[in-house]
Chains A and B, each alone.
Chain A
Amino acid sequence: GAVVSQHPSRVICKSGTSVKIECRSLDFQATTMFWYRQFPKQSLMLMATSNEGSKATYEQGVEKDKFLINHASLTLSTLTVTSAHPEDSSFYICSARDQGQGAWGGTEAFFGQGTRLTVV
């Protein structure tokens, strides 16, 4: 099946620094990728939809300047947490669907392994 690779799996950073998380579709093209955030024992909350070659679409309440998303190619989207603070500590997960099956509906989503971010 299709594979989505997310890196790093775990990162610890100091308050005020920035952290970049990469999400790659390894064997399919994805013009659209999705970034989720998950708190312990809770569900996935959609943060933003990453669109190749254009601006990301952010969900209400998500700070665009805080969570910078870049989708420069059909296989790579990045999420940069800028000026990180302890409250940004969380589990971040990306997902994508096989473009060949249609960007949106009718197919399963493939998820990265997730990134555990700890801001100290």
Chain B
Amino acid sequence: SQQGEEDPQALSIQEGENATMNCSYKTSINNLQWYRQNSGRGLVHLILIRSNEREKHSGRLRVTLDTSKKSSSLLITASRAADTASYFCATDRGNTPLVFGKGTRLSVIA
């Protein structure tokens, strides 16, 4: 069953702006992961944050995790048209398959 809930469902921004996506989940986790999916393609892993971490950076990506609130956020800075895609959070409980949220469809307008 789906566990993660992302918001917003869709986000449209101008190139150069920052994009923030949020994810909430319901149970304890081992780690939380963010993936990107271009239309009609498979998913690509972006970043993994463990339950004992609060923030992580990778290039233009910044992820936060608040286990007390069971929430995470993904920030993409200085967005580009090529960042247009759907972004999914996925929770990992360590002994079960990844469970994906509903996703945020990001459109970056040049």
Contact = CB atoms under 8 A, between A and B. Distances in A.
B98 interface: yes
A110 to B, nearest CB: 7
A109 B46 CA distance: 10
A106 B100 contact: no
B59 interface: no
A116 B42 CA distance: 11
A110 B45 contact: yes
Contacts of A91: 40
The listed residue with most A CB atoms (<10 A of its CB), out of B90, B92, B98, is: B98
Interface residues of B, number: 28
A111 B48 contact: no
A54 interface: no
Q: How large is the interface on A (under 10, 10 to 19, 20 to 34, 35 or more residues)?
A: 20 to 34
Nearest to A115: B42
Given A93-B42, A104-B94, A43 B31 contact: no
Interface of B: 2, 30-31, 33, 35, 40-45, 48, 50, 88, 90, 92-103, 105
A91 B92 CA distance: 23
Contacts of B105: 41
B33 A108 contact: yes
A113 B42 contact: yes
Interface stretch (A11-19, A44-52, A63-71, A74-82): A44-52
Given A43-B88, A109-B90, 17 more contacts: A34-B98, A44-B88, A44-B100, A49-B97, A91-B40, A93-B42, A93-B43, A95-B98, A104-B92, A104-B95, A105-B93, A108-B48, A109-B43, A110-B45, A111-B35, A113-B42, A116-B40
